[in-house]
Chain A
Amino acid sequence: MGDGPPSIWEWIARNWDTGRVGSIKNLLLDHLTMSLVPIVLALVVALPLGLACVRWRWLYQPTSGLMNVVYALPSLPVFMLLISVTGLSQTTVIIPLTFYGMAVLIPAVVDGLASVPDHVRQSAVAMGFTPLRRLISVELPIAVPVVLAGLRVVAVSSISLVSVGALIGQGGLGGLFTRAYQNPFMPPVIVGIVLIVALALVADGLLVLAQRLLTPWVRARKGAGS
C-alpha cells in the first residue's frame, strides 16, 4: 500500500497483540483492571458504610458531605498527590476511582434501605425476625434495585474515567488518546473511543441482566401497575 498512512484495520491488526506493554490488547486488559477493581472495592466499602449511616443516622450527613467533596476534587491534582505515595502505578488510578464510586454508592445503599416500606419492616419485626436476619433477608434484598441503579452509574463512569490516568501513563485505553497529541494520527483515537464505549455498554448490559435475575419482583411490580 505504498508510503501512505495505514488504514484503521491495518493499524489494529498491527498493534493488537505486539507482546509489548502498549499493545491494544494489553491496554484493554489494563483498562478492565483499573475500572473493575474500583467498582468492586467501592461496593465492598460502601455497603458497610451505608449500613452504618442507616444505623447511626448522624453519620450520614458528614459522610455524604465528605464524599461529595472527594467527588468534586479534580482527578489530576489527586493523581499528583498520590504519585508521591503510590508512584506511577495502577493503584494511583484505582484509589480515586474507588472514592468516586463510593460517593455514588453510599447514598445508593442508604436510599435503597430507605426504600423499604415501613409496613414491610414493621411486619418483619412483628413476625419475629432478629435484626440481623431482617437486614439480610428482607431489607437488603428490597434495597437491591436502588443499589444496582447506583452501580450502573459507577460502572459506566469508572470505565470512562480510567482514561484520565493516561496523564500519568496509566490510562488503559486512554493511552491511545495521548499518542494523538504527539502524532496527529486518528485510528488510535477512534479505536480507543469505540472500545471504551463498548466496554461501558457491556458492563451496563451485564448489570441490567443481573438486575433482572436478582429482582424479578421489580418487573412484576411494573407489570401490575400498567
Chain B
Amino acid sequence: MITFDAVTKRYPDGTVAVDRLDLEAPTGEITVLVGPSGCGKTTSLRMINRMIDATEGRILLDGAPVQDIDPPTLRRGIGYVIQQAGLFPHRKIVDNIATVPHLLGWDKKKARARAMELLERVGLDPGLAGRYPFQLSGGQQQRVGVARALAADPPVLLMDEPFSAVDPIVRTSLQDELLRLQAELNKTIVFVTHDIDEAIKLGDRVAVLRVGGKLAQVADPKTLLSDPADDFVREFLGRDRGIRRLQFISTEGLRLRTDMTGDAAGPWRLVVDADGRPTGWVSRERPDELEPYGTFVRGRDPMRSALDAALLSPSGCAVAVDEDGKVVGVATRETLDEALAEAADG
C-alpha cells in the first residue's frame, strides 16, 4: 500500500503543486489520480519514486517512508510508464525491456528470457525483440514501455498518462490490455490521467484533484458518478455523468424479448443465420434490405453498451447475444426504458 500522509510540494517561488494530500493506494488495486492540468497529479506520482521530493509530509511504501530509501534503489523496485514510452532509441526492444533486470545485476540469459516472456505477455510478436524502438508504432512502443516497467516484477507500478499520445482505438486496446494484465498480476498501480473516462474505466479507486493540488474526492467510480462531493467534481465528471453511470449497471436483469425473429414480429424483424448469429434488421416496408444492428453481450456488457447498441440500429432495439455471439433476445425501447427507470431509482 502507498500512503500519502499530509504531503505538500511547494516550489521555491512559492507555487504549491500539492497541498496536504492524504491518500491511500491499496495493494493490488488501480488508484487513478485525475484532474485538470495544474492539479498536481503528476507531481504526486513522482513523489512516490522520489523523482520529486516532498516538501512536507511523508509518503509510505508498505509503511516505510520513501524518504529513507536511496532513490536508485527505490526506483528499481517501482515500475514506471510515461506518455511517450521513453524507450531508449539506441537499444533493441529486448534490451529495453531488460533494462531494470540488467541494473539489478541479473544473469544475462535470465534477463533476456524474462524480456521475451514479457514481450508476449503484453501482446507483442516476439519477432520484434531485435528491432529498434523507432521501427515500432506508438501503440507497440507503449506496450514495450509496460513490459519494461514489469520486467523486474515490481509490486508497484506508476503510470503517468501512458496512453494519452496514441489514437483512440489503440488507447482502448491498451486500456483493455492493462486491465487484463492487472487481473493476472495484481500490482499496486497508481495511474495519472486527465481523462475522466479513462479514470472511470481503469480505476478501482479514483482520486479527483483540483488545481492547486487539493484532493476533491476519492471514491470508487460508481460512487463518484452517483455522489460527486461538490460542484467541482460534478463539473469535472461532465454533463453525461448519468450516461456514464450506465457503465456500472449490469445487463444481467434486463428484460429481453425473444419474439422478434419470427414472422410475428412488429415493423422490424431480426434476421438470424443458421448458427443463431444476427445478420441484420429488415423492415416491413422494405423486406429485402438488411439494416445495421448493434449487439451487447448479456451479463458481461453494461447497460451503456446495450443503450449504445439500441441507438445504432434503425429499429431502436439492441440485440443481446451470448459469449459466442448467438442471439439470446432483443432489448426494445420499452425494456430498456424499464431498466433505465430502475437505474435512476437505484
Contact = CB atoms under 8 A, between A and B. Distances in A.
Q: Do A and B come from one complex?
A: yes
Closest 4 CB pairs of A and B: A123-B86, A128-B76, A128-B75, A126-B80
B290 interface: no
A182 B87 CA distance: 63
A3 to B, nearest CB: 65
B266 interface: no
B82 A122 contact: yes
Given A119-B84, A123-B80, A223-B135, A128 B90 contact: no
B89 A127 contact: no
Interface of B: 49, 51, 71-76, 78, 80, 82-91, 99-100, 103, 131-136, 145, 148, 158
Contacts of B74: 128
A217 B100 contact: no
A144 B89 CA distance: 12
A130 interface: yes
A225 B131 CA distance: 14
Given A125-B75, A127-B99, A220-B134, A120 B51 contact: no
Nearest to B77: A128
A126 B82 contact: yes
Interface residues of A, number: 25
A215 interface: yes
Contacts of A129: 72, 103
A129 B99 CA distance: 9
> Max chain B CB contacts within 10 Å: which of A141, A144, A216, A220?
A220
Contact of B88 (A138, A216, A220): A138
A215 B90 contact: yes
Contacts of A224: 132, 134-136
Contacts of B90: 141-142, 144, 215, 217
A124 interface: yes
Contacts of A141: 90
Interface string A193-223: 0000000000000000000000111001101
